Structure 1
């Protein structure tokens, strides 16, 4: 794994997502197709990282959290306004998959391997974000 951190933008998957949003090359429909239906499929680490970052973009657009410097050059409000209700539901479902367990999420498995304290430091804010987006 390359960049690795507890925050929603402290990893390679998030960096790739932000670059695609900034360049207007991110297609959520392609992302949905590549990551599964939001319920049953195993979620790869990079995809989970991107989904977590995408949920944070939604939180910024809704005014739940202030925009961090990583979102410079991204119009979060305009992007989130372009999402359909189904896409919003998919983001929430994928966020839940990312933190569910190691059978569902590679990223959860990686954090679990680093120890229970690290797992909880990573997982708790994401669970709170999921709650705030529901």
Structure 2
């Protein structure tokens, strides 16, 4: 297992995504390629969490964390198609749904209910805020 933390950018999947965004290669379809499959792999779930955070920052719903210093979240978010935005929300929903749907949920659940809820609660709040934008 790689780097893990409660924050949206405190894992390897988000780090890879941020590196691609900074390099100007932000094809989210590469990061969310397996959304339609039955079981959501941890890397895809981590990318969805990070992408949702970028969108939340762009809309002023969240303060920009240090990981986004120098990155124009608003310009990136404006470049997303409606289908890509919907895909981010759909993947985010699946990431936190349950362990039968999401490897990331399963990994957090292995740490116990307190850790699972500490990870899941802020993501659920972010999801609700982003849904309100639609």
TM-score (norm 2): 0.93
Question: What is the distance in 2 between the residues matched to 1:116 and 1:13?
Answer: 23
Counterpart position of 1:53: 50
Counterpart position of 2:127: 130
Query: RMSD across aligned C-alpha pairs, in angstroms?
Result: 1.1
Counterpart position of 2:76: 79
- The ranges of structure 1 where at least 4 consecutive aligned residues each deviate by more than 4 angstroms after the TM superposition are none
Deviations 1:55-75 (A, max 9, x none): 000000001011111002311
Uncovered stretches (5+) of structure 1, i.e. residues with no partner: none
Give the CA deviation at 1:2: 1.0
Q: Answer whether contact 2:95 2:104 (CA < 8 A) is retained.
A: yes
TM-score (norm 1): 0.93
Counterpart position of 1:115: 112
SS in 1 for 2:87: helix
Question: What is the distance in 2 between the residues matched to 1:26 and 1:43?
Answer: 20
Give the CA deviation at 1:47: 1.3
Name whichever of 124-133 and 42-51 sits farther off. 42-51
Uncovered stretches (5+) of structure 2, i.e. residues with no partner: none
Question: What is the distance in 2 between the residues matched to 1:14 and 1:41?
Answer: 22
SS in 2 for 1:129: helix
Counterpart position of 1:25: 25
